Amino acid sequence: MLKTLRQVWKTPELRNSILFVLAMLVIFRVASHIPVPGVNPENLRNFFQQNQILGLVNLFSGGALRNFSVVALGVGPYITASIIFQLLAMIIPRLEEMQKEGEAGQQAINQYTRIATVPLAMLQAYSMIALLRQSKQPIIGALSPLEFAGILITMTAGTMLLMWLGELISERKIGNGVSIIIFAGIIANLPTAVQQAILTFDQSQIVNLVAFAAIGVITVAGVVFITEGQRNIPVVYAKRMRGTKLFGGQETYLPLRANMAGVIPIIFAVSIILFPTMVSQLFIHAKTPWLANAAQKTIEILQNQLVYGIAFFLLVFIFTYFYTAVVFHPDRVAENLQKQGGYIPGIRPGRPTSEYLMKTVNRIIPAGAFFLAVIAVLPIAVQNLTGSRSLVVGGTGLLIVVSVVIEIVNQINAQLTMREYEML
């Protein structure tokens, strides 16, 4: 471990990339403490203590939502826009073609995603302000149209800032920028959570603490097992003459991970499962009786831990399948192997190789998706046994933190390995 850290520090590019990422996270944390004008912080704090759903949203904003800061929306609108375009790419031929165009097509889709983030951020900011206005205790005072528009623009700009910071982080190839920002937000809440646990410690809560520790260990072990689990497909490269030298002939393998999607399915699932509740809370005091009743019924259904757990399980399972289909393209892998003179023993190059890879992936992904979904809902099961509502948030946060750390470590190790090959 210490040897690896010394290697990282002695590699100028890696050291500069890590320092750059840390600088971007410092900017994020500073912005999360710049509040939007006209908010009563005490009433806002009380409102969040009474609303568990908003507590989970606040988790992914790194406490920025609890402070109602300029980056209170976090990267939620950007994630929503990404989900929309990834779904559209599966049904719109033009977007599907753009995905196949490589880097140029991906850049065009990313640009569309950025543009779509703006109206989504404004809509979410408007919904959040409307939700806070429904509190019994005044959180936001009377706003003129100009002040209201100013808050919308400020919060939208905050989301665009985080989106930009996330893309800058991703360019450094240390990890996914959006995931790292969410990771930083969760870690930033850790000192406060530990302090509250110490101040409110009671001997009657020993069982809950033991359960929390057990679920933490199981979650960490499960996430590591799933993330690192892979099926190695043997690949042989044919011998070829280049000039007077003979190349190829070596045997290697193509790793197919049990969970290619990483932490993204969890982020997607949380974003989707919170959406109905957020929308329903906007209409709970509607003048139309049936609309208010429907909103109240939706909130009551999703507050049921059994319904919430089943929905969360299914969403994580489905999104693991979905995102794997987005990031893994067997046709392209088979085509690249054929161009490089590689083949899978016993499988003909081209279409048969593509079909074999897809068949193999379809066999290993269900296991990875199932275990990831089980780990995601495991804290909910423990919460029902112990009665501690903090375990749900802590378990989800722990799941994301471990996955992001593994991703960062793997990317750093990959860069170190690549530089060792370049030096040979």
Closest CA to 269 of 375, 408, 383, 347: 375
Q: How confident is the model at residue 354, as a pLDDT?
A: 86
Residue 286 contacts residue 296 (beta carbons within 8 Å): no
Domain boundaries along the sequence of the chain: 1-201, 202-424
Q: What is the pTM of this model?
A: 0.76
What is residue 48's predicted lDDT score, i.e. its pLDDT?
A: 67
Residues 402, 218: Cα–Cα separation, whole Å: 12
Find residue 343's DSSP bridge partners: 236
- Residue pair 101/69 in contact (Cβ under 8 Å)? The answer is no
Q: Does domain 202-424 have CATH number 1.10.10.60?
A: no
Report CA 326 to chain centroid distance, whole Å. Answer: 15
Residue 268's pLDDT is what? 76
pLDDT at 140: 75
pLDDT of 247 reads 54
> Average pLDDT for consecutive 10-residue bins of the chain (424 residues)?
73 84 90 80 69 60 70 83 80 78 79 90 82 70 80 90 90 83 80 67 67 74 77 77 56 80 74 74 75 81 78 86 78 80 81 86 84 76 62 61 81 76 54
Yes or no: say if 75 and 162 are a contact pair by the CB < 8 Å rule.
Answer: yes
How many other CB atoms sit within 10 Å of the CB of residue 65?
A: 24
H or E element, residue 236: strand 230-237
Q: So what's the pLDDT on residue 18?
A: 87
**CA dist., res. 232 & res. 255, Å (int):** 5
Coil, strand or helix at 202: coil
3-state secondary structure of 350: coil
Q: Which helix (H) or strand (E) holds 99?
A: helix 93-100
The answer to whether 258 and 231 have CB atoms below 8 angstroms apart is yes
Token pair 């399980």 in the structure block, residue: 313
Domain 1-201 has CATH 3.30.2230.10: no
